[in-house]
Structure 1
Amino acid sequence: MRLLGICNIGLGTQSGKQLSTENITGNRYLGEDRSMILINCFFSVGGAAINLLSNKPSDSHVAKYQVIHAVRPNTAASDSSYNCVTRLEDSQGLLGITTTKDLIQEAIKTIEANLTTLGHLVLPTSEKIQFIANYIARHFLGAKVKPYVPNFMKAIDHVITHVGGKHVLDEVEKNLKLSKTDMEASRMTLYRFGNTASSSVWYGLAYAKAKGRIKKGGRVWQISFGSGFKCNSLIMKATRPVDREEKNPWSGDHNDEFPVDLKSTEGGIPYEFKPSKKI
């Protein structure tokens, strides 16, 4: 299966393309229950239009990526998982999104299921052996050692994660033992565009393309998660070098300003979001 290419980021789409978008207007909460204003605070409007996948051999010469693996565990069969993020009416009959205390636990459980399946598919034998040896030592021999976290970057060249928020990216970086460079595309996406949910992984991929980092044979891992609870992983291999495109959202006068030093901008406002002069 091959991905023909990524067109420019935007809300519009054309025939023959697929749209991945986040539009908060339909779920905006207008009530007074503070536990249901999550979506008003954490999400931004955005979208990505992507050329359709094709399994025709005749399209191989124009394809930019080849889809290697797609892993999508969904734990909605569990009541606690299904209800951890849900849309409900408040006491006034207004719809809003609410979360439960089980959210983090269910998210971890679903993401672990995703990584377990993905690891079996992509990790080199050396990493699999270390993981199995660690598991046996902890569960059968009673050894007091920390769980072994496989090094996915031995099988992946670029990781683009769902930008659910700064704390989400911090946890992904910590738990998968990723470097600052590995997380750069996702952090810059959050800084410039906010949390655009499912489409954020395409903004992140566009960043890597704009920087000229996608080389022929390079493997890209996109990982996203959300209500359900579900966690998606997509592994793609570049069939040719993917150069900077004119309609890439990162192209233009400001592209060379990235990455920015987030420590020096802590609490600041990105230049794209200048306050109104009327304030």
Structure 2
Amino acid sequence: MSLQGKTLFITGASRGIGREIALKAAADGANIVIAAKSAEAHAKLPGTIHSVAAEVEAAGGKALALQLDVRDEAAVKVAMAQAAEHFGGIDVLINNAGAIKLLGVEQLEPKRFDLMFQINTRAVMVCSQAAIPYLKKSGNGHILSLSPPLNIDPKWFAQYGPYTATKYGMSMLTLGMSEEFKKYGISANALWPKTMIATAAIEFELGSRDAFKRSRTPAIMADAAHAILSSQGRSITGRLLIDEDILREHGQTDFEHYRFDADGGTLVPDLFVD
């Protein structure tokens, strides 16, 4: 159950869940490629590829910070090649970069839909395609995308169907890749939180940090990702997993320490989770 010596290429890893997954793997002694757009500090959003690289090194891992826009397929191919050359290969791709706007068809600007589609759905294909030559050589390659189970209850489409479509697209690609890459011994899974997670995406989409009181920290997603990525021989593949569920499968029963606020109220389920 260790990722020691493994190389993880994580998109959008400059903050939030991506950063937390990076630090969890770094504690095992893994090599982490922090691939994100944030190379310079932002006034409202803490964290850059360089600050996370320093944290990875401090946690016991090795880091490579690469500024990357996952919409640019040529740049993605170059980044994958740089990562593989630097660390001698790639064992894991984590499609963590994401874009969100919770508006319906009537109100959403087409350019915003384009952004969500390109960063959510399209980037999963582009990044996975670029990683495949290296994952084939890993012997235990993994692709993990942060996307939800396919819950087709109309309520998840009624108010923000465009966002839902782009996230479900990620999940459908995941199911397809698990079958398509079976011949290479590569596992493909998706992971989603059972409750809201205290991240910048929640803060800015909802307009405040008030929701953090009823959220969990990104640590639960990092622990769940670690359980998936530590699995061997496609024993976990083709699954659209919930963080708490996969941790329960691995024997964990206590989740109280993941609360952002120990004195907070009832935890709020995340989108797409009944």
TM-score between both structures, scaled by the size of structure 2: 0.31
**Structure label with greater radius of gyration:** 1
Higher relative contact order (CA 8 A, sep 6+): 1
TM-score between both structures, scaled by the size of structure 1: 0.30
Larger helix proportion of the pair = 2
